Structure 1
């Protein structure tokens, strides 16, 4: 650990900001590095050991018991797991970094079976040893990356789904990283008592990566995300496509094109009627509509011509993200990057909320009453918008969008473009349009478990506080009530950017004081008083008694 600390410090000047270490393993097995000039010889596993136990349990089809936190008091480490008397499952345990859940003795993992599993996958020797699964174990970065690369595809994809909340939870990370990189943070303490941390995980195409630097894992990711993205950009990894396993795992979408505009004829390049089946002949094809309009499209194996010669129909089965990219091209302008990312999430959310299940896929019409879908292959910019937000949906309220925002709870495209050009991020655009919604993975839980009764209590009491607060220097009323989210681990806090308050409970007086305290951080967000914990606490105690 001391060697790691020395290596990081050696890459930074005496007064310069700390420089993170970034490494990844190319498909040919070559170790690639960026940002930091030199990787340390050995790095601690920290919390990354939990990734490999998770992978083993997933790949072997284990049915381990949930972990139940002690009723009377917390055991050491349970603050990362659950509240006393509650229980936690595998995915949540990985996301929250609950080490007690993945303890091999609790799971009764057999050392010989563990070794055989990883030997069969040609994993590095250190991973084949069950006793090596300790946070203090140190390994070379290349050996850690190789171990991540040896994770079975199904286990890697399950871990990526479970880890998505790590990106959603940290303010600003999603706008910077997107949903492609999925990571497990790690932290450890060197011999001098200094904290060091970072993360390890996979990009969308399965490329394993490792990040390290001074501070806790969350601090490193929050502080260095922009430099990490630049490192991936320099390495040609910023816009990687999902690998075959990830593509196969995506939901499929069946689209019926031109649902409101019947086709009259579909002609090949020689003006002869196209044959039923995939449009694979040398294009372009000419689509002639019953209303007299026509459109030329290139040949595309994914497009299928069905129906009769006098009533042809065009349909396609595509992956979820290919569908989203085509919607972005048809409903927006993909080169408006931030607005297009917000539209991609809205389109994906609308599909999940409205499409009909059909033969294992989702069936939807290309229709202005639903979502319009481009019959052309998606543009690179649209594919990038879909990839940057891959798998993300909004939950908690109906999602709709239109060219102009003429009513509340609607994403207006023109307003989104104007706001993005003024510097607002993707999350801010979505929060303004859908204030009661939370971001989540396609199959996962939201990034905020709402406490609606706490939010209602706060809203009901704001009028009685208003006269008192307006006498306070720096007070600014909020445009809308904040979201109140259940805190599973860590310290209660306010997220000014998202207008959220995170706390464990609010039924007791102490809990309500905490709720008021964090709300006041939002109400004094633009004034130095908002950073004065003593002043905020004094005012919260006074308001609690009003």
Structure 2
């Protein structure tokens, strides 16, 4: 009988700062980078990353892929149920190969080559016919190719792949949701192999391969992977820009009497930077380390301090203020709860969600987050609880309320953060925070608004400051939180628009965009009156 080929080794590699790092499980000696440049891998499903990037970069509005009722096509089981359809982001997360078929999409080989040459991608990626699972490439070349995916397209792919990071609870508990990856499976010399390829939180490309399918390989090796690769505590700039913005009003229950720099004098209104001494009306004092995102305003009621923070910065500050980030598992659970609470309870503002620093809501540190708090936020990046209202308390536990004190005890007893959350919030599922880049589009709602602008023209121009909102407007489905609009990106997020109430909400948020550069755009009462009037016209 012929000898069977040896199973493929378990390997992990990443590319950062122009250098290759690689490890092999159970290797007798450390892996030399020069040796690791000889590692090869089939693309498996990772070729879909590049198709997704190309479609996104070229703003292609390709048709959704529909699974036929009568005649099931090959690989449809990875796409959708019979009679249903799948969109681009869903297709990437589900690993729907037929969706990304270049022939179905009408992708031109010459255009493909020009696009990837412009990204300075490896030569093999410029060839459209290489986009198939059997294509074998050096691992280092795959990492370089993933690095060459443009920033906006990388952010879009990371957001689309969040469900993959959360698919298996044991893998998510070991790796967190910071790494985003496309799983792959194929055969190497007759032996089944699987793994993943994608990005760490800071944008570092990585690849993993091991015996088995992607599912079994990740399950068997997640803890090992997490112990080997670097653990970034901050996302890269494009990922930060894609996060929802949270505007915090600090010290809402403690009126401020004075704000002064430590070096002396009185603080001027505007951006704050450096160390300040805050004097409160109740006689207490506090020294804070301010960053330029913080703003001092002086009005008749006294000084006020606020900050516009990226969501994950905000979450890390809450962990510092409401918990103790050195309690790793409890801090991760608190980060998920705090992120969910903020998105469920903040209100729409001018380009940011608004929330108070208040013991009746959740408290926020005015100082930059500690490294441990950043790590807790980074490990659970974008992770929220779906399906339940979220509350937590320092000591008291009840159904639907996470107790910090209890979470600390559970963590010290060996419980994982996801298990804590399941116990505190029965019926909840872990899902993705709806970042500004994530959008399940409602194109008919956008088209309806575009057509109605002509009908409403006279009424809209009765108020000075109206600006037509053109083709850049997008309407997206909102899963959790309050309907709102993003004035910078011209995005409206609503739950539905089939009822009159839903259409009033849609019009209301549209009006915030149409008057975004005029004071009336910040007058909620006036906006609501006009929305009600237009809904009946």
From 432, 435, 452, the equivalent of 1:441 is 432
Q: State the Cα distance separating 1:406 from its structure 2 match.
A: 4.2
Matched, 1:417 2:408: yes
Matched, 1:198 2:191: no
From 155, 164, 175, the equivalent of 2:162 is 164
Q: State the Cα distance separating 1:41 from its structure 2 match.
A: 4.0
Equivalence map 1:504-519=2 (5 Å)? none
Q: Report the count of equivalent residues.
A: 422
| Residue of structure 1 equivalent to 2:255 | 262
Q: State the Cα distance separating 1:34 from its structure 2 match.
A: 1.6
| Residue of structure 2 equivalent to 1:287 | 278
| Residue of structure 2 equivalent to 1:85 | 83
Equivalence map 1:228-243=2 (5 Å)? 228-232=225-229, 237-243=230-236
Equivalence map 1:434-473=2 (5 Å)? 434-443=425-434
From 57, 60, 67, the equivalent of 1:59 is 57
2:327 and 2:244 mapped to 1: Cα distance? 26
2:359 and 2:290 mapped to 1: Cα distance? 24
Deviations 1:26-51 (A, max 9, x none): 12x22221235454543211111111
From 15, 22, 28, the equivalent of 1:25 is 15
Q: Secondary structure at the match of 2:104?
A: helix
Matched, 1:219 2:216: yes
From 373, 377, 394, the equivalent of 2:364 is 373
Matched, 1:432 2:423: yes
1:297 and 1:78 mapped to 2: Cα distance? 57
Contact kept? 2:399, 2:426, Cα under 8 Å: no
| Residue of structure 2 equivalent to 1:526 | none
1:126 and 1:270 mapped to 2: Cα distance? 59
1:31 and 1:190 mapped to 2: Cα distance? 23
From 237, 245, 260, the equivalent of 1:244 is 237
2:410 and 2:228 mapped to 1: Cα distance? 28
Matched, 1:320 2:311: yes
Equivalence map 1:291-306=2 (5 Å)? 291-306=282-297
1:202 and 1:99 mapped to 2: Cα distance? 21
Q: Secondary structure at the match of 1:172?
A: helix
Matched, 1:34 2:23: yes
Q: Secondary structure at the match of 1:260?
A: coil
1:305 and 1:222 mapped to 2: Cα distance? 49
1:299 and 1:221 mapped to 2: Cα distance? 42
Contact kept? 2:15, 2:144, Cα under 8 Å: yes
Q: Secondary structure at the match of 2:195?
A: strand
Q: Secondary structure at the match of 2:293?
A: strand
Q: State the Cα distance separating 1:155 from its structure 2 match.
A: 1.0
2:67 and 2:128 mapped to 1: Cα distance? 25
Q: State the Cα distance separating 1:393 from its structure 2 match.
A: 0.9
| Residue of structure 2 equivalent to 1:182 | 180
Contact kept? 1:35, 1:227, Cα under 8 Å: no
2:381 and 2:53 mapped to 1: Cα distance? 22
Q: Secondary structure at the match of 1:49?
A: helix
Q: Secondary structure at the match of 1:305?
A: strand
The TM-score normalised by the length of structure 1 is 0.75
Q: State the Cα distance separating 1:337 from its structure 2 match.
A: 0.7
2:351 and 2:233 mapped to 1: Cα distance? 27
Q: State the Cα distance separating 1:298 from its structure 2 match.
A: 2.6
Q: State the Cα distance separating 1:438 from its structure 2 match.
A: 1.0
1:211 and 1:140 mapped to 2: Cα distance? 13
1:149 and 1:190 mapped to 2: Cα distance? 25
2:290 and 2:244 mapped to 1: Cα distance? 24
The TM-score normalised by the length of structure 2 is 0.76
2:397 and 2:329 mapped to 1: Cα distance? 21
| Residue of structure 1 equivalent to 2:95 | 97
1:203 and 1:189 mapped to 2: Cα distance? 26
Contact kept? 2:290, 2:366, Cα under 8 Å: no
Any runs of at least 4 consecutive aligned residues in structure 1 with deviations exceeding 6 A, and if so which?
A: none
2:21 and 2:392 mapped to 1: Cα distance? 42
Q: Secondary structure at the match of 2:91?
A: helix
